[in-house]
């Protein structure tokens, strides 16, 4: 039997509907917008996708296991807490964050003017350098709920390594 690899990769995904009058927080950064993601916590889809990618890389359960949406005490919670918990869980197992790479899928709000600030925020939450965080934005070209501006989604991948 071969020894386990010194690194692992995890994937995360999250999607939330957009609703009027809700704050739009992505990567811990408040984005000016007339709509925001609806959800149990602050609905930061970027941080939720990151947390699931981190947990998945270590073979752990998803964020719903640690932070169930049925727990009313978590209503409106800052999603930075979720990411810090994911980092803590994998660190306890001897892993370190290598990098995260993210794709934000949204017609609105416009993400690109805020990417630099989002990268700094995510790096701080993960305890890594800004260069270890990649964030890109794209649209769905008018197709489906995302393309019609009714939803916002994020795909994430994370590399962890023994440290």
pLDDT digits (tens, 9 = 90+) for 74-117: 888 999 999 999 999 999 999 999 999 999 999 999 999 999 99
Query: Is 51 within 8 Å of 83 (Cβ atoms)?
Result: yes
Mean pLDDT (the chain) is 95
CA dist 152 to 10, 53, 72, 77, Å? 21, 18, 24, 19
Can you tell me the distance from the alpha carbon of 4 to that of 11, in angstroms, rounded to the nearest whole number? Answer: 19
Helices (H), the chain: 45-57, 63-66, 80-92, 115-126, 144-147
Residue 79's domain is classified under what CATH number? 3.30.1330.50
Domain with 149 in it: 7-162
Answer yes or no: pTM beyond 0.85.
yes
Q: What three-state secondary structure class fits 30? A: strand
Residue 2 lies in a domain: no
Can you tell me the distance from the alpha carbon of 39 to that of 83, in angstroms, rounded to the nearest whole number? Answer: 16
CA dist 7 to 57, 60, 86, 99, Å? 9, 15, 17, 11
How many domains does the chain fold into? 1
Residue 88 lies in a domain: yes
């Amino acid at each position: 039997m071969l020894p386990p690899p010194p690194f692992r990769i995890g994937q995360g995904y999250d999607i939330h509907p957009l609703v009027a009058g809700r704050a739009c927080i992505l990567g811990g950064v408040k984005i000016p917008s007339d709509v925001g993601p609806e959800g149990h916590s602050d609905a930061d889809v970027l941080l939720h996708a990151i947390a699931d990618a981190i947990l998945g890389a270590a073979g752990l359960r998803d964020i719903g296991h640690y932070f169930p949406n049925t727990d009313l005490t978590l209503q409106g919670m800052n999603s930075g807490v979720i990411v810090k918990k994911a980092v803590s869980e994998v660190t306890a197992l001897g892993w370190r964050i290598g990098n995260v790479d993210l794709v934000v899928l949204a017609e609105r709000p416009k993400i690109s003017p805020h990417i630099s600030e989002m990268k700094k925020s995510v790096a701080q939450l993960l305890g890594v350098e800004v260069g270890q965080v990649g964030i890109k934005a794209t649209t769905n070209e008018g197709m489906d709920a995302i393309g019609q501006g009714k939803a916002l989604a994020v795909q994430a991948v994370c590399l962890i390594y023994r440290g």
